[in-house]
Amino acid sequence: MLTPAEERRNHKRRELLLLLPVYEAEGNHVVGALGDISMTGIMLFSSLPVMIHEEHALVLQGTDLQQIMRYKNAPEKIQLRAQSRWRTMIKPELYKIGFKFTEISEPTLNIIRDLVRQLWSQRSIGNSFVEMTLMIEEIFDVEKLYEISDQVRELPGVIAVSLRAENNRMMNVQYHPEQTSCHQLLDTLRQQQIQTRLVRI
């Protein structure tokens, strides 16, 4: 059971994740709120049951990035083309939806790299969540590595997953220690015949 202080940290951290809206470019309506972003994709919390394998033109507004993320020099908007890859209901009328980028410019990738660093820095405040780094020991193509990261992201207790830009076989995983553990996550991957070892926790 969480202490009052842990509850407050958990609430603050959840607000950081849920306050940044992500829009559909066509119609400019809100699709969901930022839950996780990496160099390869984005995860949203959404009340919309988005269909799997749909192509979407998503937009992050520069004013939101400046005000909510305190991200200076943000462009007017960041456009992302992405395909929905998975969807999990976390409570009635609220979903976690994973998107994989299908088209993205180099300048936008540089901005996302900065956002990833900033999000992970914000999440490191307090100790409600635990971060670990896994090494996938087998050689897989990039598409398979994306699939593995999507599988890990859907596991109970997992908050965020990010493949390292410098070595995409290295996976950063952030999880809630009261819902899972590093050993459970490793066992789950090994049961799927994915040889993985713990690098850092």
Span 143-179, pLDDT tens digits = 788 788 888 877 887 877 877 766 778 888 878 777 7
User: Could you tell me the pTM of the whole model?
Assistant: 0.56
Q: Are 174 and 137 in contact (CB under 8 A)?
A: no
Residue with more model confidence, 122 or 30: 30
Other beta carbons within 10 Å of 128: 21
Count other Cβ atoms within 10 Å, centred on residue 38: 25
pLDDT digits (tens, 9 = 90+) for 18-29: 468 899 988 778
**Which ranges in 69-141 belong to alpha helices (H)?**
106-123
Residue 200 has pLDDT above 80, yes or no: no
Q: What is the pLDDT of residues 38-68, one digit of tens each?
A: 888 888 888 888 899 999 999 988 888 777 6
**In 3D, which of 196, 195, 135, 198 has the Cα closest to residue 171?**
135
Average pLDDT taken over every residue of the chain: 77
Contact indicator for 11, 62 with CB cutoff of 8 Å: no
